[in-house]
Amino acid sequence: MSAGNDSGVLGEKVAIVTGAGSGIGRATALEMARNGASVCVADISEEKAKETVDLIRKEVRGCEVEPFKVDVSSEDEVQMLISFAAVRFGRIDILFNNAGIYEWFSIEDISTETWDRILNTNLGGAFYCTKNSIPHLIKTRGVIVNTSSALGLQGSTESVAYCASKSAIIGLTRASAMDLAKYGIRVNCIAPGSVETSMVERDFAHFGDAEKARKAYNELYPMGRIAKPEEIAKLVVFLASDAASFITGATHVIDGGISAQWAEGLAPKINVR
């Protein structure tokens, strides 16, 4: 068990983490707490948010941490989240826009309703959280980190809304960084490849044989495996820390080298179905 709020690279900063009920969000909320931050654990699932809070309280002694149920696609709910965090913790230093959803649809098959739901959650959520946190982040010269994806930089079949939303987050990051630099607010985004999360487990199942799909995914990566959530969390903590004080408007790829490969090197490995 480690001590919270008095040690680590985040000092006594206050962070809001969306999508913190599982996966990258949960791992990052925990890593931030380990590094001294107080954390508002926000998720659409109240149960999952509370599970993350319990995990943090068990591991990080004295950490100030609270759950908050929020649907980031609703600006009204986002405003309640920001107000809660500001009142409960007294300030906001870090915003990690991580909440997102993924559904398998091609441009031919996707409905307008599904398109809107994915874009409103992935992109709209980051926009609402960013816009409404600005007055608080100005006071602290705070930091925003957005979760894009390797699929925000490259295309993929049956992923049209997800790819579009994650590409747009890169644009949102760059433009926000330019607008907010005058306040000393830094804005960056991360672009992970596949990560061991429940979302990716669902992707494996999509191919019919989950174990075969897992093996194929791992073989695609030069490092022989997909990422662990904790590895992504460490990058987010670095970007949120003073060690990254001159980094803004940048997209940080963390994909085990898969995007560095020439396509011909991938072809022999792609045989999932």
Residues with a catalytic annotation lie at 162
Please, are residues 227 and 184 in contact by the beta-carbon 8 Å criterion? no
Which uninterrupted H or E stretch holds 38?
strand 38-43
Number of Cβ within 10 Å of residue 207's Cβ equals: 14
Q: Is 204 helix (H, G, I), strand (E, B) or coil?
A: helix
d(CA 75, CA 41): 18
Q: Over the range 16-49, which residues count as b (16 or more CB within 10 Å of their CB) and which as e? A: bbbbbbbbbbbbbbbbbbbbbbbbbbbbbeeebb
How far apart (Å, rounded) are the C-alpha atoms in residues 194 and 169? 18
Residue 122 contacts residue 100 (beta carbons within 8 Å) = yes
189, β-bridge pairs = 146, 251
- Of residues 85, 89, 102, 107, the one with CA closest to residue 150: 102
Is 273 strand, coil or helix? coil
Other CB atoms closer than 10 Å to residue 123's CB: what's the count?
23
CB atoms within 10 A of CB 109: 10
Question: Going by C-beta distance under 8 Å and a sequence separation of 6 or more, which residues neighbour residue 112?
Answer: none
Q: Where are the beta strands (DSSP E) in 128-217?
A: 143-147, 186-192
